[in-house]
Amino acid sequence: MDSKFANTEFFGRSETSPQEFAEYFWPILSDILAYRDHLTPENSEQLFRAAAVTFEFLGISGCQSLDLEVLFDGWFDELRSRQVTEVIGQPKEDNVVLGFTRLLGLCINFMRRRGLTPGTEHLEDTWQNLLFPDAHTTGTGVERIPCLHDTTRAELYQLTLKLVISHQESLDQIVALNNALFPDDGILVDEYWVDRDRWLRAPTGLVGVHNLSNTCYLNSLLTQLFMNQSFRDFTLRLPVESSDKECRSSFCLKALFARMQTGFARAIEPRDLVESLRDFAGDPIDPHVQMDVDEFFNLLFDRLESEMPSSQLKSSFRSYYGGHLVQQVKSNECSHISERTEPFSAIQCDIKGKHTLQESLKAYVEGEIMEGDNKYRCTTCDRLVDAVKRTCLKDIPDHLICHLKRFDFDLQTMHRSKINDRFEFPTKLDMKPYTIDYLSSVESGIDRSSDTDEFELVGVLVHTGTAESGHYYSYIRNRLSHAENPSWFEFNDSEVSLFDPSTIPENCYGGSDGVSATGYVLPKSFSAYMLFYQRSSSLPKCGSRQLPESLIPSVLRMEILKENEDLIRRHSMFSSDYVAFVKELVDARSRVPPDLSEGESDLEVLNLAQRAFEQICARVKDFPGWESLAASMEGFACRTEECSKAFLEWISETHIIHSLILDNPFMAIRSYVTKMILSVLDHLRRTNWILYGIPDDDDSGAISREQTMLYTVCKGFSDAWLGLQQGVKPWNDYFGFLVDLCLRGDCEKDYLLKVGILRKLLEMILIDHLGSSKRAELRIENFVKIMSKQRLPAARPAELLCQLMKRCSPFMRPCKSDEARERRIAESPLPLTQTEEYYFKWSPPRIPPALVVYTKLLELSGTQSAMEKMTADMLRAPSAPAEHEFIEEVKNTLLNSISVDPAVHATPYLQCLLAFVAATKSQVYISEIIAKVAEEIPTIGLTGGMEHLRFFQSLWPLHAPGRSVKPPIIENISFWAPALIVYHDPNVRDSVEDFLDQVIFEEPSSETDIIRRAVMELANGLFQFIVNKFPHNRQPLDETTFSAAWRILTRCKDSQLDETQYNDRLEELKTFIDHLGLGLEDEDVDDMASDDWGCSEIGSDTRDVAHTEELR
């Protein structure tokens, strides 16, 4: 290399072409790249950038001096043997790997230009070294970290694609390696709403603890204990195993600390530890119930101490946080002193009326004067004496906990309250003045001012909230950081972040948080609750080593090792770059003609796409690129008959239907999946209808119905039926798919009937009427709650019922079973089974009876259209008789259901009755329905007026051979019209007036005598309705309420027989209206006065003509 730099002939030339410079410069760069030991991610970025530019220039120019095969092999070997140095939670770009990867990509392009084939023999080694290492099988007990930076991994994926895209054997190899990444007996992640950015350790390098519900008190304490390295060391060395039932809590704590120390996860679940603990009453700890952290500290240490395997370990355990204090009573009148030594684990510090920790500790040891009525009896002197009663510290452990008593109990209110007063504490604390030795020496006149026992603040456990509810978290000092400027961390459940210790006063002392606009002092809700101090002499020196992993038992270490490997693998796979890579693999195989591709290889590629879609894309909301992968997978499923069959068998597995439809929270995924199934089915229907499920006419090549893909899919959806009880979100997708399948023809309906979908649908609808034992037998108890939801998405289930009943007839003799119906599959329509008929026609034993299928579905929103269509289809069917017992039940169910309050709730039944009238073959039924609805209108009250009017408006133009609706409408006009003419809604009044014009006033098509009689009855009915109803009616009135009625009565004059009597009735009606506090508008009265009433008398054929006195 030195000779090249010394080439004075080259540098002395006045002009050098770019080609010459590149050819001169490249060997220098190539030699530098060969010194692998000197290349680091930090110093190589510019080098590889220059190398890539130079190499690309030479390759494009066709430089023949480049030995591409040698370069390819050398660079590939660099990647194959490269040791990754990335840190978990702190991914950074590895410029060495990235540089060689980009150079190899260029080299592959230039080799193919020359007709050279890049070798792939070491592709698997590179894959496992840089992308997906298999750590736990190495036997080393040390994780092999792959490249974690997304940009670097994306370049490696592209390099892999370039190598395998035209090499089928290598493509198959890479597909097999990717399939091996997925677990054989499970899934990558058993949850949705996955966020891979929260999987790995935080940038601080420390692991948090998951909150199981209300276990923040446990988390905040455990992190304080974990960060105490000596206590962690002691815990990891405990000779307890998972099989030791008597030491269960100790082992769970040991395992938790081991995972927090060596695990790669952002946070660890303490579930095993929580489940192992019992409270002082022997009951399990409820993770949903908050506990006082000081109480839990005592509980935890009591349980751990009881589990220590030996007395020596028990003594060592006590020494960490346990000390001794002395309860002392010292006589002021004699020299006698009474002392009692007691153990303690935390100093209980009063803060009420105190401002600092030192002040609280001073009061702690000063005690109280016992005098007067409270004198102390000296047992030695046997007399009452003045004395001092105090508590002094005797043995202080290296690790000291001060519990700040911020919770107080108010005897007046009988409630706990929180003391939010400001309470300061130092970062360094001399505990010597609070010991019995120090106090005794001072009282004896001995100077001990030079004696100190210094402790340093290493942790603060904070409580935020009130005495009844709140949250705990911890600030903890890194004991290995520099003593003069120590680093601190905040542990807040699963989150671990850096903390500035200079903000401790602001974040931990409590006190006021400003003043409100009204002058009220706002107390801080967050303040220190427990303080953790450590004796300065016991603190590890800066730079002390981390605890050796050899402390962790090998079995536990291998468990953690595998967990780490699985976590890294999942984190790498839940990347948009990885999914895009899988998509490119699928597309690469798609470009190989099917006749040149092995069937097994195609199925392996399809399997990879299916796994990536179901286990990765479908677990993340709006996963980037999921639609592209899904489209490629859908196209590949239609590639060959074998692929279509494999795809449909996979998608019909119960756990897949649950994963992608029933349990999946993402509407886009659910919708796409159902459309994809239909697309593949439609493709198979076109290309191989026998395998699809359509029987062949000549039975040549026929297969059993159970072997068809249509049966496979229908059976899969039927088997997954119980999953509909978990929630209603997937209902539209699940039932929508079945409806769309039905719309393809009778063949599809037959398969759904075969697998019992109609029976299950009817059981769901009738769930409230099935016995509890029957519901338990069918395991459908949860449908009771589901079907009671007010906003149940029932439109699709109702539509499915409509489609299936279109294939069946309720008028045929039922079959005993599905198998019996299967033998009559060629018939049209098909009979119901006995069970289906029982459910479909079932009505509870009540008066009047009602078909539950109708009453249940019509009370749900969105079902009206389907129920109308089902009713019409049943009545129009060629096999349907004009009149039948079941048809009578349907009619009566609908008619009995319109008598509801408020009347607007009758709308779906009215619409269904419309469909009934339009489709029925019986004039008797038509007349009965119209008469019943007409009689119901006077009772509707303040709602439903327009809906009832539309019933008659919609019926009027109907034309049915041999049946007529107009005569019954006209005959019942005196029942339905009066209430609507004076209805409180002016829109209804205007609409009914227009409708009456069409029916009886403007050239009606009916006979004149019928119209004349209808007009007379309408006038009489209107008179009676106003007089009889309005004195007791709470309907709001205004000056326009009776305007339409007056105009109608005016227009009825031509049909009256007695002008004088009719005129008298009008005058009496006007007086009656005036008594109601309303008057008619002047133009209405003027119109009445100017009309020619004629001289006819009211005949005997009018209905209940009222006299003037009756009106009064």
Q: Which amino acid is at 810?
A: P
Neighbours of 413 (CB within 10 A): 8
As a whole number, mean pLDDT of residues 112-121 equals: 90
Output the CA torsion sign for 56, 58, 62, 66.
Answer: negative
User: Tell me: the pLDDT tens digits for 171-187?
Assistant: 999 999 999 999 988 89
Residues 889, 842: Cα–Cα separation, whole Å? 10
For residues 384-411, give the mean pLDDT.
Answer: 89
Burial 384-398 (b: 16+ CB within 10 A, else e): ebebbebbbbbebbb
pLDDT band of residue 370 (cuts 50, 70, 90) is confident
Q: Which helix (H) or strand (E) holds 597?
A: none
- pLDDT of 942 > 60? The answer is yes
pLDDT of 802 > 90? The answer is: yes
Q: How far apart (Å, rounded) are the C-alpha atoms in residues 417 and 407?
A: 6
Query: What does the alpha-carbon distance between residue 42 and residue 39 come to, in Å, rounded to a whole number?
Result: 8
From 394, 401, 402, select the one nearest 341 (Cα to Cα).
Answer: 394
Under the banding of pLDDT at 50, 70 and 90, the label for residue 20 is confident
Q: What pLDDT digit, counting tens, does each position of 707-736 carry?
A: 999 999 999 999 999 999 999 999 999 999
The partner residues of 278 in beta bridges, in order of sequence, read 284
Q: Average pLDDT of 482-504?
A: 92
* pLDDT per residue as tens digits for the range 264-291: 999 999 999 999 999 999 999 999 999 9
Does position 1087 have pLDDT exceeding 70, yes or no?
no
Is 50 exceeded by the pLDDT of residue 1074? Answer: yes
* C-alpha 848, offset from chain centre: 44
Mean pLDDT, the chain, whole residue set = 88
Q: How far apart are CA 248 and CA 253, in angstroms?
A: 9
- E strand residue ranges, 753-817: 808-809
Which of 134-138, 609-613, 623-627 shows the lowest mean pLDDT across its residues? Answer: 134-138
Tell me the angle at which helices 293-307 and 311-321 cross, rounded to the nearest 10 degrees. Answer: 160
Q: In whole angstroms, what is the distance from residue 311 CA to residue 307 CA? A: 10
d(CA 420, CA 466): 9
List the beta bridge partners of residue 435: 393
pLDDT tens-digit series, residues 577-589: 999 999 999 999 9
Give CA angle at 418 (415, 421), nearest 5°: 145
Residue 209's DSSP bridge partners are 268
Which tokens sit at 1082?
């002047």
pTM (two decimals): 0.86
The burial of 147, by beta-carbon neighbours within 10 Å (0-12 exposed, 13-18 middle, 19 or more buried), is given as: buried
Of 631 and 383, more confident: 631
- 827 contacts: CB under 8 Å, gap ≥ 6: none
Q: What is the mean pLDDT of residues 921-937?
A: 95
Q: What is the pLDDT of residue 1003?
A: 60
Percentage of residues in the chain having pLDDT higher than 90: 66
| Structure confidence at residue 11 as a pLDDT band (50, 70, 90) | very low
d(Cα 377, Cα 397) in Å, to the nearest integer? 33
Tally Cβ neighbours within 10 Å of residue 552: 24
Q: 1087, 1050 in Cβ contact below 8 A?
A: yes
Closest CA relative to residue 747, chosen from 706, 692, 699: 692
State the pLDDT at residue 596: 77
State the Cα–Cα distance between residues 996 and 998, nearest whole angstrom.
Answer: 5
State which H helix or E strand residue 971 sits in. helix 966-971
Radius of gyration of the chain (CA): 44
- Alpha-helix residue ranges (DSSP H) falling in 444-543: 504-508
Residue 1008, burial from CB neighbour count under 10 angstroms (0-12, 13-18, 19+)? exposed
* Residues of the chain above pLDDT 70, percent: 92
Residue type for position 449: S
